[in-house]
A and B are shown apart, each in its own frame.
Chain A
Amino acid sequence: MGQEVLTFPFLFLAIFFESFVLVTLLSKPARSARARVPGEATPTVAVIVPCWNEATTVAATCESLLALDYPADKLEIILVDDGSTDATPAAMAPFATHPQVRVVRKENGGKHTALNTGIAMTEAEFIGCLDADSFVDSAALREIVPCFAEPNVAAVTAAMSIHQPKNMLQHMQNAEYTFGITLRHTLASINGLYVTPGPFSFYRRSTINELGGFRHGHQTEDMEMALRLQHAGYEIENAPRARVYTKSPDTVLALIKQRTRWTSCALRNVLGEYRSLVGSRKHGVLGMLILPVSLIAVASTLLLFSVMLFQLGRSAVTALQVRAGIPLSYAYLPHGSFDWFYFPASFYILLGAATLLTSLSLIIIGKRISRTPGNIGLGLISYTFLYGLIVPLWLARATVDVTLGKNRGWRW
């Protein structure tokens, strides 16, 4: 047993959290959210697309916005070129004459400044943001608007998936994003969201004005805004069928770089300006459960990974030592048939398997809830075999960065 005992509390916590998500998913608020239908109300909406060197995708992003099922006179699109140095201005130019689109170019100042520039240009009742590497489903906005029915709802998030996943790494991210659909939908039903992602999150303009627009937020302005909204006592909703697809890193290094930034910046926000939210009874489930569990999850993932690496490493070294000098045909080829007697059923392995199976179930649930088209099979396979090996790498890197106060670049 040995080091395995150390992992039990964390496996216990993981199963508890997944059980909590499942139970909450079946509770009335989540059921009511799923039953919500696209409304007839069409308030004025502006979608801001902040761009920095997005020449290859911004046109398709804008096209997807123009294809939204929403009255043209109520929807404006604001493309903000944040001082791009590539062909982004040329890619935006054809849209400059479109009656629904406004194009503006400014000096590079960061995504939050691009968003604030766009907000200053519109009087729309609701402000949406869409990263310039993301594409929306035509029905997405109709799903978003009814979520603002309650006056205390200040923001609404969408259901994100990966745009046309090609390799196993992207399929893995697609499964992860689909897991996120379930999680976001469930946590939103009890106001437990702490991030309003760049792809197609919407805000009530009056609240944005009241809180003073977007801030740098340690390079995660979306999280900073969400935490600020929560801190101010507002609610963040989710529209689980508002589908949006985003581009993803296609190499492990690019993925680690992207997630290191996300994680380290998230840690800086939560442990910095918004530390008072952690453990706060006033902020309900977010303060008492979601944020503490998220912080513990970082530590527990690193611990579980270390234990797994240690055990695998020790087993590999022992196996190599024991087999030294024995003919390869005997030492490294399987002999014998499957025998239940040798089935390695330890508490650690079975609890880990239960956690994984629940995660896979939540992914499948996410796909069903959002009605996202496509096959998730490859995503489930790659999630099972890759995710647990890659996540600890960016968590470790992000933790080191935060500890050493190191900042990294924005782009993956």
Chain B
Amino acid sequence: MSLVTRNVIIALVITVVLAGTVAYAVDYLNRARINELSTMEDQISIDTLSLDTQFSLLEAAPCDSAASSTTLVSSLADLGNRLSYAEDQLGTDNAQVVRLKEQYSLLEIRDYLITKQLAEACGTKPVTVLYFYSNAGDCADCDKAGYALSYLRTTYPSLRVYSFDYNLDLGALKTLVGITKIQDTLPAFVIDGKRSYGFTSLTDLEKQFPKGALATSTASLK
């Protein structure tokens, strides 16, 4: 075997090993992402259950547990951002991503219900937004709407935004869609119980919020 042939073979082996290592590293990182998402969801699930239990235990004075709910909302937002990134990286049809999205949607619905119950019990008026989107390529303005809501959520921490993939095959979500009577004209919003469709600009979106709701001093629970 000539020197060149030997070197070509060695170089090929190195290339295959390097490409294999890179493929393994990418797969490892993606699996680590999924694991982190699962861990986060488990924690949020426990927090939600804890809040739910606290609520039941302290029926006489449920407002004492209100602070935990606010913390939960920021955790949910963080999880939502990570889930969205994982979806971009792994694809919308990735089985693990879909399962995590279903769990995430359930957590959101649960938090939404607790927030409503707490508001009724404590006499507060938290501003909630149910946001329905699609990433199946049939919603040109969903990215813009999602970004505008992220901005509002960051700017007004008391705002409670719940994002749902309209096409997710989840019984609880379908029930929520049915109850809120949301049509498949996306993006769709339910802001304080009032439905609206489409996104034109941040300014137009802000107009749909109750007067005084978008103020940095607004608190969902007093």
Interface residues of A, Cβ cutoff 8 Å to B: 12, 15-17, 19-20, 22-24, 27-29, 190, 284-285, 289, 318, 321-327, 330-331, 335, 341-343, 345-347, 350-351, 354
Tell me the smallest distance from the CB of B141 to a CB of chain A, in Å.
Answer: 10
Residues of B contacting A29 in the complex (Cβ-Cβ under 8 angstroms):
3
Check if A16 sits within 8 Å of B11, measured CB to CB.
yes
B8 on the A face (CB < 8 A): yes
Check if B12 sits within 8 Å of A16, measured CB to CB.
yes
Q: A28-B3, A324-B144, A345-B25 are known contacts; what are 16 more A-B pairs with Cβ within 8 Å?
A: A15-B14, A15-B19, A16-B15, A20-B7, A23-B7, A23-B11, A27-B3, A190-B4, A190-B7, A289-B8, A326-B202, A330-B154, A346-B26, A346-B89, A350-B25, A351-B19
Check if A326 sits within 8 Å of B29, measured CB to CB.
no
Q: Give the docked Cα–Cα distance between A322 and B25 (Å).
A: 31
Total residue contacts A-B, CB cutoff 8 A? 82
B46 on the A face (CB < 8 A): no
The 25 listed contacts between A and B (C-beta, < 8 Å) are A12-B15, A15-B14, A15-B15, A15-B19, A19-B12, A19-B14, A19-B15, A19-B18, A22-B11, A24-B7, A29-B3, A284-B4, A285-B4, A289-B8, A321-B143, A321-B144, A322-B144, A322-B147, A324-B144, A325-B203, A330-B151, A330-B154, A345-B29, A346-B26, A350-B26
Which residue in B85, B147, B201 is a CB contact (below 8 Å) of A341? B85
Check if B26 sits within 8 Å of A345, measured CB to CB.
yes
Check if A326 sits within 8 Å of B82, measured CB to CB.
no
Check if A341 sits within 8 Å of B36, measured CB to CB.
yes
Write out, one digit per residue, whether chain B residues 3-31 have a CB within 8 A of any chain A CB (1) or not (0): 11001101110110011001101100100
Residues of B contacting A350 in the complex (Cβ-Cβ under 8 angstroms):
22, 25-26
Check if A341 sits within 8 Å of B33, measured CB to CB.
yes
Chain B residue at minimum C-beta to C-beta distance from A346: B26
Residues of A contacting B203 in the complex (Cβ-Cβ under 8 angstroms):
325
Which residue in B18, B85, B154 is a CB contact (below 8 Å) of A335? B154
Chain B residue at minimum C-beta to C-beta distance from A15: B15
Residues of A contacting B151 in the complex (Cβ-Cβ under 8 angstroms):
326-327, 330-331
Q: Give the docked Cα–Cα distance between A331 and B23 (Å).
A: 33
Residues of A contacting B29 in the complex (Cβ-Cβ under 8 angstroms):
343, 345
Check if B144 sits within 8 Å of A190, measured CB to CB.
no
Check if B11 sits within 8 Å of A20, measured CB to CB.
yes
Interface size class of B (residues with CB under 8 A): 20 to 34
Chain A residue at minimum C-beta to C-beta distance from B40: A341
B114 on the A face (CB < 8 A): no
Check if B7 sits within 8 Å of A354, measured CB to CB.
no
Chain B residue at minimum C-beta to C-beta distance from A17: B11
Residues of A contacting B72 in the complex (Cβ-Cβ under 8 angstroms):
none
Chain A residue at minimum C-beta to C-beta distance from B33: A341
B94 on the A face (CB < 8 A): no
Residues of B contacting A346 in the complex (Cβ-Cβ under 8 angstroms):
26, 89
Residues of A contacting B167 in the complex (Cβ-Cβ under 8 angstroms):
none
Chain A residue at minimum C-beta to C-beta distance from B205: A325
Check if B22 sits within 8 Å of A351, measured CB to CB.
yes
Residues of B contacting A323 in the complex (Cβ-Cβ under 8 angstroms):
147
Which residue in B11, B25, B201 is a CB contact (below 8 Å) of A19? B11
Check if A15 sits within 8 Å of B147, measured CB to CB.
no
B135 on the A face (CB < 8 A): no
Check if A342 sits within 8 Å of B18, measured CB to CB.
no
Residues of A contacting B82 in the complex (Cβ-Cβ under 8 angstroms):
341
Check if A347 sits within 8 Å of B15, measured CB to CB.
no
Q: Give the docked Cα–Cα distance between A285 and B82 (Å).
A: 50
Q: Give the docked Cα–Cα distance between A288 and B1 (Å).
A: 16
B155 on the A face (CB < 8 A): yes
B109 on the A face (CB < 8 A): no
Chain A residue at minimum C-beta to C-beta distance from B8: A20
Q: Give the docked Cα–Cα distance between A56 and B92 (Å).
A: 64
Check if B23 sits within 8 Å of A347, measured CB to CB.
yes
Residues of A contacting B213 in the complex (Cβ-Cβ under 8 angstroms):
none
Q: Give the docked Cα–Cα distance between A341 and B37 (Å).
A: 10
Q: Give the docked Cα–Cα distance between A113 and B143 (Å).
A: 65
A354 and B155 in contact, given A323-B147, A345-B25 (Cβ under 8 angstroms): no
Give the interface centre of B15, B19, B202 by most chain A CB atoms within 10 Å.
B15
B148 on the A face (CB < 8 A): yes
Tell me the smallest distance from the CB of A188 to a CB of chain B, in Å.
Answer: 13
Tell me the smallest distance from the CB of A329 to a CB of chain B, in Å.
Answer: 10
Chain B residue at minimum C-beta to C-beta distance from A29: B3
**Shortest 6 CB-CB contacts between residues of A and residues of B:** A20-B11, A19-B11, A19-B14, A16-B15, A350-B22, A23-B7
Q: Give the docked Cα–Cα distance between A331 and B12 (Å).
A: 46
Which residue in A27, A289, A322, A325 is a CB contact (below 8 Å) of B143? A322
Q: Give the docked Cα–Cα distance between A343 and B36 (Å).
A: 14
Q: Give the docked Cα–Cα distance between A20 and B22 (Å).
A: 19
Check if A318 sits within 8 Å of B143, measured CB to CB.
yes
Chain B residue at minimum C-beta to C-beta distance from A351: B22
Residues of B contacting A331 in the complex (Cβ-Cβ under 8 angstroms):
151
Chain A residue at minimum C-beta to C-beta distance from B143: A322
Residues of B contacting A20 in the complex (Cβ-Cβ under 8 angstroms):
7-8, 11
Chain B residue at minimum C-beta to C-beta distance from A345: B29
Tell me the smallest distance from the CB of A253 to a CB of chain B, in Å.
Answer: 37
Q: Which of B31-46 contact A (CB under 8 A)?
A: 33, 36
Which residue in B14, B26, B85 is a CB contact (below 8 Å) of A23? B14
